[in-house]
Structure 1
Amino acid sequence: MTIESILGAIVIGAVIGAIGRLLLPGRQAIGWILTIVVGIVAALVGTLIAQVMGVETTSGIDWIELLMQVVLAIVGVGLVAGLKRGSRV
């Protein structure tokens, strides 16, 4: 794994996480670092699912893969925010 691929994963994770956080209604009480981590995980899992389905490489932008990543980021941000909110008792 090269430094470029690590930096690329962080940037893509940040973008995917931010999009997921913006599309999730309501206020999420999680920080940006946690949002980036959720985005990185969502991007990796979305890519794995796309590879299993055989839709990871299409001509142009891989919209199906991107949609999977964003949906996973929305779910991930929602879960993390819910878990964090539940731990403040």
Structure 2
Amino acid sequence: MLLHNSLLGWILIGLVAGILGKIIMPGKDPGGFIVTILIGIAGALLAGYLSPMMGLHVAAGWQSYAAATAGAVVLLALYRLVMTRRT
């Protein structure tokens, strides 16, 4: 089984995507670095789930990381939006 096709693979890619998402969107997050990495994992899982539904074929390698990072950035932006309005 290929790494990018498994749940564990997307979680591992999500760890990297969370870090890349933090680099792309620097600043103070309400939950800190650990929450940002968890959001990266959630973004990667979301990208892994939604991309086939949208007709996108995500191949192993850079495409997996790009999809996961995009998912992480989107979720991080939504998280910041929701959490800053709550406080």
Question: What is the TM-score normalised by the length of structure 1?
Answer: 0.66
Helix, strand or coil at the partner of 2:71: helix
Give CA deviations for 1:39-80 in whole Å, capped at 9, x if unaligned: 1111111112233325133xx6252x4322211211111111
Q: Structure 2 unaligned runs (5+)?
A: 1-5
Helix, strand or coil at the partner of 1:32: helix
Aligned residues: 81
Other-structure match for 2:61: 61
Cα RMSD between the aligned structures?
2.6
Tell whether the 8 Å contact from 1:28 to 1:78 is kept in structure 2 after alignment: no
Q: Which structure: larger Rg?
A: 1
Matches within 5 A, 1:25-64: 26-52=27-53, 53-57=55-59, 61-63=61-63
Other-structure match for 1:80: 79
The alpha-carbon distance between structure 1 residues 55 and 62, as it changes in their structure 2 partners (threshold 3 A), is: farther
Give CA deviations for 1:3-53 in whole Å, capped at 9, x if unaligned: xx7775554322111111211254434312211221111111111223332
The alpha-carbon distance between structure 1 residues 56 and 6, as it changes in their structure 2 partners (threshold 3 A), is: closer
Counterpart amino acid of 2:81?
G
Q: Structure 1 unaligned runs (5+)?
A: none
